[in-house]
């Protein structure tokens, strides 16, 4: 059975997870355990979605445990790309998310980056990060 993993449950990831969770199995993943607990209890402190929307996503589960991503086939990475005062992007969240995905990635899985990155970042740095973590050809 096909399953989607949304990595990062902020203003992009959570609404996306909720909409997909209405029609397909979704794991909403975030490293912030308190955020996961809030969402499991039907509360979104960012007010991106309300309780009724969360409840309508019957096929959505929430987790901060990377092992819960092992049965995912499609990964959508929606973590932030903060910039410093010189407008230089901090790719740390993307790299960490890529490492997490790389540990559970299987042949024929798909990874989509929904985060803002500069040209060649995905093809170069993030693809290499996943490849080195997983040791499979991508």
Q: Mind listing the pLDDT tens digit for each residue in 32-83?
A: 999 999 999 999 999 999 999 999 999 999 999 999 999 999 999 999 888 8
Q: Residues 6 or more apart from 27 whose CB is under 8 A from it?
A: 3, 4, 5, 6, 61, 62, 63, 68, 69, 72
pLDDT at site 29: 98
* DSSP bridge partners of 62: 28
Q: Is the pLDDT of residue 138 over 50?
A: no
pLDDT at site 70: 96
The side-by-side arrangement of strands in the sheet containing 110-113 is 60-63, 25-29, 3-7, 74-77, 110-113
Tell me the pLDDT of the chain averaged across its residues: 86
d(CA 103, CA 52): 34
Tally of residues, the chain: 138
Q: Is the pLDDT of residue 26 over 80?
A: yes
Between 137 and 27, the more confident residue is 27
- Residues 78-118 have pLDDT tens digits of 998 888 898 877 888 888 998 899 899 998 999 888 876 65
Between 133 and 77, the more confident residue is 77
What are 3's two structure tokens?
Answer: 């399953």
DSSP 70-103: TT-SEEEE-----B-TT--B--HHHHHHHHHHHH
* Reported pTM: 0.85
């Amino acid at each position: 059975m096909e399953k989607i993993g949304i990595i990062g449950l902020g203003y992009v990831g959570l609404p996306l997870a909720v909409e997909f969770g209405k029609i397909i199995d979704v794991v909403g993943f975030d490293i912030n355990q308190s955020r996961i607990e809030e969402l499991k209890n039907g509360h979104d402190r960012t007010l991106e979605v309300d309780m009724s929307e969360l409840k309508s996503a019957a096929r959505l589960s929430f987790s901060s445990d990377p092992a819960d991503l092992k049965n995912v086939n499609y990964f959508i990475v929606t973590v932030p790309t903060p910039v410093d005062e010189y407008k230089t992007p901090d790719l740390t969240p993307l790299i960490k998310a890529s490492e997490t995905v790389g540990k559970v990635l299987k042949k024929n899985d798909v990874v989509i980056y929904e985060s803002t990155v500069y040209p060649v970042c995905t093809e170069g740095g993030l693809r290499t990060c996943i490849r080195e973590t997983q040791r499979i050809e991508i």
